[in-house]
Amino acid sequence: MRTILLFAISSLLTSTSAAPKLDNKGLVLTTNGIIRGIIDGARPAVRQFLGIPYAKPPLGDLRFAPPQRALPFGSLNATKMPPSCMQYIGSTPNIIINDVLEFNIGGSNASDPLHTSEDCLTLSIWAPRNPKKKGLPVLVFFYGGAFLNGGTDVPYQIPTQWIQRTQNLIVVTFNHRGNIFGYPNAAGLPLEEQNVGLLDQRMAVEWLRDNIAAFGGDPNRIGAWGMSSGAVAMAYYSYMYRDDPILNSLIMDSGNEFIDILTKDPAHANFTFMAEQFGCGDLNPAAELSCMRQVNASAMQDFMRVYSDDGKTPIITFSPIVDNRTVFANYTALAEEGKVARIPVLIGSNAQDGEIFVPYNPDGVDTTVADLITMTWFFCPSYQSAKVRTNAKTGPVYRYLYSGNFTNISPRPWMGAWHGAELPLVFGTHSLYRDTSTELEYETSHAMQGAWHAFVATAGEKPSIEGWDAWDQVAGGRVVEFGNGVPARLLDTTEMERECQVVR
């Protein structure tokens, strides 16, 4: 307890330090040019490099197109948090709009053009100023948001505190296109170029492979951590780039290949419907696509926001489609054929994942429906992914369950470990908003940070928690539960697994 109090006092004192200043430790030479970052006066042991372009701006003829490598930029002051890709925040009440705004870009509960741009294909790097060793492991975060929302400028998802405390890891976050800009499903595009948001992700990882050593990272120890749709995208990635994953490990957090949030629109009706709203109707596919590349990006997002908020039909959706290049129809069959990357995986979910997906009521939600969603959308798909990967012998598979219930993240009594509630614990941002963090909250945060670090640092060979064995559906193996009265404990989930009807 004394250590935690001293940490809190230290944080309070340093928060009054000097404003961020240019990083005088030195310039970083990359394949695109020389980069200079900043040192935050409140977190002086962290070097921050914010808004580095990893691809050309996807503007004009590059809208809806696969990403192209960034051009040389000579020198770059990477000193400001970059805008996130185009998106909107709807008005339907839910936890992150009504109660916990720090999960939204810019910490806002309303669409804010100051925090979004179509010129958004950038990544940001947080590195120790005084690393304990050379060649640090690197963790790349794939954010969630149903392939519609999310970005690097999310208050709860900025790892400065984590790096300040540990000095043993580099964390990277990056923007990638979503919604219609990332998944247009337009008749004028070839099938293999519909899921360009997923192609953005690969280009960001390739940029890191080529450049992370200049920031003190080990290019052979780059692991990925994805949450929700970010974890779904990572799972797709492991099949898509099975022969050259670049990544040494995957942490799939409340998402995997068996969560279906795909768009099923073979007639391309959604894109054509949008085209009709902006004077691009009644055109052949090529002309329709060309016309839509000239439409104002904000106008498109504003239309979708109003259309969605008004509950109009037909419902229009833009998320990945099955193209048998980036997204496949049968992942069980692919795994059985050995067509998946052979790298270790950590798979988990939250005890109350489903609460955010049922109609919101400040006094509580329908727990029967929420619990059903938790099992069918999250816990059971995680169990299925673990089974499939274990059977395919892709590498060690570890499992976890997050069950923390902390009032500064779950301010209403019924919330519990809702979808995303684990993120402030891992990023170390839990103490920054609302109530003071508890001793258990700090300890759980440190346990999760240690587990994530150990997984990428050792490629899953040496878990940070004693007794945490690789899982096997026949021989067994333990699941670690975080935050349920103690920071971490071994858990038997056999009874929960019996509720899962895994369908091949």
User: What tokens were used for 45?
Assistant: 């042991």
- The DSSP H or E segment spanning 451 is helix 439-457
User: What tokens were used for 96?
Assistant: 């992150």
Query: What's phi and psi for 252, nearest 5 deg?
Result: -105, 110
User: Catalytic pick from 84, 124, 228, 437?
Assistant: 228
CA 239 – CA 334 distance, rounded (Å): 8
CA 348 – CA 419 distance, rounded (Å): 12
Angle between helices 269-277 and 297-309 (to 10 degrees): 110
CA 293 – CA 303 distance, rounded (Å): 16
396 and 344 in contact (C-beta within 8 Å)?
Answer: yes
Angle between helices 229-240 and 196-211 (to 10 degrees): 70
1 and 439 in contact (C-beta within 8 Å)?
Answer: yes
CA 81 – CA 294 distance, rounded (Å): 27
Q: Over 243-286, what HEC string results?
A: CCCCCCEEEEECCCCCCCCCCCCCCCHHHHHHHHHCCCCCCCHH
CA 149 – CA 301 distance, rounded (Å): 11
Catalytic residue list contains 410: no
Concatenated DSSP letters of 194-256: S-HHHHHHHHHHHHHHHHGGGGTEEEEEEEEEEETHHHHHHHHHHHHTTT----SEEEEES--
CA 407 – CA 388 distance, rounded (Å): 36
Identify the three-state secondary structure at position 35. strand
397 and 341 in contact (C-beta within 8 Å)?
Answer: no
Contacts of 250 (CB under 8 A, 6+ apart): 223, 224, 225, 226, 234, 235, 238, 343, 344, 345, 346
Catalytic residues: 228
